[in-house]
Amino acid sequence: MIKYQPVKAGTSVGANYREANRAQSRNDFIHKIAIVEKEASESQYWLEICDEASLGDPKQKKWLRRESGEPLAIFTSAGRTAKAARA
């Protein structure tokens, strides 16, 4: 069901971030943090779908959508910084 997708994608962010912190090399970290970024973006996508389908509490969805942007920005920045340090 659609309403469970944000939970699946959101928990994947945490699991993949944990893996990124255990990276074997800078390149491994860059690869893994890119996966985290993709999962964070997917979480936002599913929240948008839930919003458009009128699933869930409107106040909670608004809060979740706002809050989900912060980790995405952080992971995007972490990936860019790691790539810049590699060069």
Q: What is the DSSP string of 19-42?
A: HHTT-SSHHHHHHHHHHHHHHHHH
How do residues 33-75 score in pLDDT, each as one tens digit? 999 999 999 999 999 999 899 988 989 988 988 888 999 999 9
pTM value surpassing 0.75: yes
**Distance (Å) of CA 10 to CA 13, 35, 36, 38:** 5, 12, 10, 11
Domain ranges of the chain: 2-86
Q: Is the pLDDT of residue 3 over 80?
A: no
Distance, in Å, from the CA atom of 81 to the CA atom of 46, rounded to the nearest integer, reads 27
Tell me yes or no: is domain 2-86 CATH 3.40.1260.10.
Answer: no
